[in-house]
Structure 1
Amino acid sequence: MSTDKKINVGVIGYGLSAKVFHIPFIQALPDYNLYAIVQRSPKSGDDASADHPSIKLFRSADDLFSDEKVDLVIVTSIPETHYEFTQKAIESGKHVVVEKPFVPSSKEARELVKLAKEKKRLLAVYQNRRWDQDFVTLKQVLASGKLGEIAEFETHFDRFRPEPPTRTTWKTQVSPASGALYDLGSHLLDQVYHLFGAPNSVTGFVQVQRKGLKTGDSPPDACTVLLRYGSPEDEMLVTVKSSAISPEQDQLRFWVRGTKGSFKKYHLDVQEPQLLGGVKLSNSDFGVEPASSHGTLTLADTDGKFNSETVPSIEPPPTYVEYYRILAKALKGEGEVPVSGDDAADVLKIIELAQASSDNGNLQAW
C-alpha cells in the first residue's frame, strides 16, 4: 500500500465496540478514512449514516466485501460471526482487524492465520489493553530489574456486580466465546502472554458466582487461571483472576513479587470509563490516571528492611491510539501488526486449557 494513500476502513457492526473502541481512534489519525459501516437495522437515534454522513452505509457485510475501495475491514460483531466475516474479508482481498476474543477456538484462529498468509493480507486482533497506562508502566518496572527474579505475578479484573445482568448481550448468554474467560480473561491472558509467552501448564477454575444464575443457563462470570513458567528449581506462578463478587472499594489490579521487591497497583485503566463518559481523545486528561491510582514499589535492602515509593504512571500515556498508529505503519510495509493472529491463537489455547482443567479438575500441560 502506498505510504501517502489514506487507508479506507469498513467497520462491521455499529454497537459499543465500534462506536467507542474503534471509530474514535480511526478518526484520530490522518492515515485512515472512515469509508463504510455495516449496520443491519439503523433506527432513529442509532443510525451510522446520521452520525457519519460522509460514509457509505451497508446493510450486508457481503456488500462491504465486494467494494474494491475498502482496504481494511474491522470486525466488531459478536464472536460467533468472527470466523465467517474474517474469512470472507481476507478472501475478498481486505486486511482485517478482529475484536477480541478473535474467534471461539484456537483451531479456527490458526486456520485464519494460515489463510491470511496465503492471501498475503494482514490480520490483527484488537487486544487494546496492551496500551493501558498501568500495563505499560508495569513493563517498565519489570525491565528495570528492580524486582529481581519474579516469583509470583498476579493480574486482576475484579468487580462487584452481585445482581444478575438486566441487559441481554452475547456476554450474558451461553454462546460460543461467551463468559468471563473469553471476555475479561482474554485481556488479562493476552497481557501475560505478551510478557512471558506460553506457559508450561495451565490450571483453571471457571464458575458462575452471582446468585440467581445457574451454570449451563448463564455463561461463567468468574475465572481464576494459574499459569506455571520456568523450571521446578526456578518457577514463576502467574495468577489471572476475574471475579463478579469482589466487594472492595479499591480493586487490586497487579501484584508482582520478586526476590528484591514487589509492585502493587490498584484500579483499572481510565480510558474505557472516559470513552463511555464522552471524554474526547483530544482532551489533555485522556488516558491519564489520577495520582491516587499509581502503583507502589517496595524494595528490600540488605538489612531486611523495606522501603516503599510511589511509581508514577508513564506520561504521556500511549492510549489506544497507539494500536492503530502501529497498524497504519504495518499496512504501509513498515513493521508488524500490533497484535498478531498467532498471538491470539495461543491465548485462545490457554483459554481452552483453562476450561478443560476446570471441567476435569486436572492440570493441563501446554
Structure 2
Amino acid sequence: MAAEKQYNVGIIGYGLSAKVFHIPFIQLTSSLKLHSLVQRTPKPGNSAPEDYPDLKHYTAAEDVIADPDVDVVVLCTPPNTHYPLTRSALLNNKHVLVEKPFVPTSKEADELTALARQQNRVLCVYQNRRWDSDFLTVQHLLKEDKLGRIVEFETHFDRLRLTAPAKGSTWKAGLKMDEAGGVLYDLGSHLIDQVYVLFGMPDWVTGRLVHQREGRIVTGDGSEEQEPDSITAILSYKDKGLLVFVRAGVACVETRQMRFWVRGTKGSYHKSGLDPQEDHLRGGGSATDKGFGKEPEDRFGRLCVVGEDGKVEDQVCPTVEPETYLKFYDLFAKAVASGKEEDVPVPASQAAQVLRIIEAVRQSGKTGSEVAP
C-alpha cells in the first residue's frame, strides 16, 4: 500500500489565528506537514523560531510564497492583505487557505475564484464556525424537519463590551469597513455565512449599522466614516416566507447570551451561549483532549414542539456530537489531495456570495432602503 502523500504547509502570520486555530490542527492532520512560518518581527516571548526551531522561518510573505517546497499557503494576516497575498500564492502554484473575512469585496473574491480555477489550485476560506456544534444541531433539526417550515430565524453574537479596544491594539481595532474591518466583516461574516449555508441567497437585505457604545445610528450622511460597533440585518426570502435576523452587539446585558432562536410551523429551538471550542483552545487545550467540543448539559438548547394532542411541549434539546474544527482540516486536506473545487469545505465562490450579502447590508445601512444582493 502506497504511503499517504504529505503536503508542506507554510503559514503567513504568527498571531492568535495561527497559534490557536491553524498550527494545532495542521499538526493533527496526517497528510499535511507544517513546513514553514512567516513572522515579520520575532521577539522574546513571541518568537516563531524559538517555538518551532525545526521549521523553516521567514520574515517576509514573498519568501514563503516563492519557496518551491511549499505546497499550501495559509494566510493568517489582516484581511486588507488577503487579496494581493492570495493572488501571489496562486500565481506561484500554491493551494491557499485564507482566514476570514476573505477579502474586502465580492469583486476581488470573484477574481481570486477565477484565478484559482485557471491555476488548477484549491482556494478555501476558513469559516470554521460551520463546524460549531450548536450550528450542526440547527442543521440536524432542519434536516429532520423537527421544526416544520421555518418562518423566522435569529442568529446572534452579542456581548457586553462597553469599552472600545484601544486603536492599534489589534488589527481589528484599526481597519475600516473598506478594508474588511469592523464588526460586519468580523462577526458578521460568521453569522451570515451560516445563514447562507442554511438558506442560500436572500432576495432582499435591510441593514442597520449602529454605535451602541455612543448611542447613534451610522447612516450615509458622512458619519459612516466612524465605524459601527454593532449590526442588525434582516434577510428576506420571498419564496420561503422567511425572515432572518442577524445581530451582533456590544451592549447586551445577559447572564446567558442568545445564540439561536429558530421558529417554525411545527416547533421552535432556542439556544444561548457559544460553542466551547474557541474558549478551550484559547485556554491552552487541544482538540485531542477528552470531551473537546462537547457542551455540558446545562448549556443545551430548548425545543418546543406541537404534541399529538395539539399542546406545545417544552423539552431539552441535546447538542449533537461535535465534529470539531478538526473536521474542517480533514476536508481541506482531502481537497488539496484531489485538487477538486467541489471537495473544498468552504469554496471561495461561496465566500463571494457571503460578501455580496455583507455589501448589501452596508448599502442598506447607508441609504436606509432595502437592497437586493
Which TM-score bucket, shorter chain as reference? Answer: over 0.9
* DSSP-derived class of the 1:364 partner: coil
CA contact (8 A) 2:166 2:173 kept: no
SS of alignment partner, residue 283 of structure 1: coil
Q: Is 2:180 the counterpart of 1:177?
A: yes
- For 2:100 and 2:14, locate their aligned partners in 1 and report how far apart those are by CA, in whole Å: 16
1:330 counterpart (335, 344, 354): 335
What's 1:130 paired with? 130
Match of 2:227 among 219, 225, 241: 219
SS at the partner of 2:343?
A: coil
Separation of aligned partners in 1, 2:237 and 2:144: 20
Q: Distance in 1 between matches of 2:73 and 2:245?
A: 35
- Which amino acid letter does the alignment assign opposite residue 172 of structure 2? K
Q: In the alignment, which residue of structure 2 is the partner of 1:347?
A: 354
Q: Deviations over 1:55-106 (max 9, x none)?
A: 1100111111111110100011001100000000000000000001100000
Cα distance in 1 between the residues matched to 2:3 and 2:209: 46
Note the alpha carbon deviations across 1:220-260, whole angstroms, 9 max, x for none: 211011101132xx510001110111010101100000111
- In the other structure, the counterpart of 2:286 is 280
Structure 1 residue runs without a partner (length 5+): none
Q: Is residue 8 from structure 1 mapped to residue 8 from structure 2 by the alignment?
A: yes
CA distance in 2, matches of 1:82, 1:144: 38
Percent same amino acid at aligned positions?
48
**Structure 2 CA distance for aligned equivalents of residues 116 and 228 of structure 1:** 32
Contact conserved, 1:73 with 1:89, CA < 8 A, in 2? yes
Q: Please give the alpha-carbon distance, in whole angstroms, between the structure 2 residues aligned to 1:119 and 1:105.
A: 21
CA change 1:291–1:3 in 2 (3 A) is: same
After TM superposition, list the pairs within 5 Å mapping 1:315-326 onto structure 2: 315=321, 317-326=322-331
Unaligned runs of 5+ in 2: none
What is residue 106 of structure 1 aligned with on the other side? 106
CA offset digits 1:98-157 (Å, max 9, x no partner) = 001100000000000011101111100000000001111111011111211110011000
Say if 1:101 and 1:182, in contact at 8 Å, map to a contact too: yes
Quote the residue 2:159 is aligned against. 159
What does the per-residue CA deviation read over 1:152-209, in whole Å, with 9 as the maximum and x for residues that have no partner? 0110000011112136222112421111110001000000001111111111011121
Give the Cα–Cα distance (whole angstroms) in 1 for the partners of residues 345 and 175 of structure 2: 30
- Structure 1 pair 263–75 and aligned structure 2 pair: CA distance change class (3 A): same
Question: Aligned to 2:238, what secondary structure does the other structure show?
Answer: strand
1:268 and 2:271 equivalent? no
Partner of 1:118: 118
* SS in structure 2 of the partner of residue 42 of structure 1: coil
Is the 1:174–1:216 Cα contact (8 Å) retained in structure 2?
no
Distance in 2 (alpha carbons) for counterparts of 1:111 and 1:251: 38
Post-superposition offset of 1:279 = 1.1
Greater mean alpha carbon deviation, residues 194-203 or residues 278-287: 278-287
1:280-319 aligned within 5 A: 280-301=286-307, 303-315=309-321, 317-319=322-324
Amino acid at match of 2:29: L
Give the alignment's Cα RMSD to 1 decimal: 1.7
**Could you tell me which of 229, 235, 246 is aligned with 2:237?**
229
Equivalent residue, structure 1, for 2:93:
93
SS in structure 2 of the partner of residue 121 of structure 1? coil
Q: Tell me the SS of whatever aligns to 2:241.
A: strand
* Structure-1-length-normalised TM-score: 0.95
TM-superposition CA deviations, 1:9-30 (whole Å, max 9, x none): 0000001111111111111111
Partners of 1:174 and 1:218 within 8 A in 2: no
Q: Deviation per CA, 1:292-333, whole angstroms, max 9, x where unpaired?
A: 111111012355411011111112x11101111001111111
Q: Structure 1 runs of 4+ off > 2 angstroms? A: 211-219, 301-304
Q: Deviations over 1:14-55 (max 9, x none)?
A: 011111111111111111111001111000011111111111
Q: Which stretch has the larger CA shift, 213-222 or 38-47?
A: 213-222
CA distance in 1, matches of 2:195, 2:256: 22
1:272 Cα shift?
Answer: 0.8
1:332 partner SS:
helix
Which stretch of the first structure deviates more once superposed, 55-64 or 293-302? 293-302
1:187 corresponds to which of 167, 190, 198:
190
Residue pair 1:202, 1:226 contacting (<8 A) in 2 also: yes
In structure 2, how many angstroms separate the alpha carbons of the residues matched to 1:291 and 1:54? 42
2:269–2:303 CA contact under 8 A, matched in 1? yes
| Number of the residue aligned with 1:208 | 211
Question: 2:199 matched to 1:196?
Answer: yes
Q: Which residue of 2 aligns with 1:244?
A: 250
Q: 1:216 to 1:170 in 2, by over 3 A?
A: farther
Work out whether residues 208 and 231 of structure 2, in 8 Å CA contact, stay in contact via their aligned partners in 1.
yes
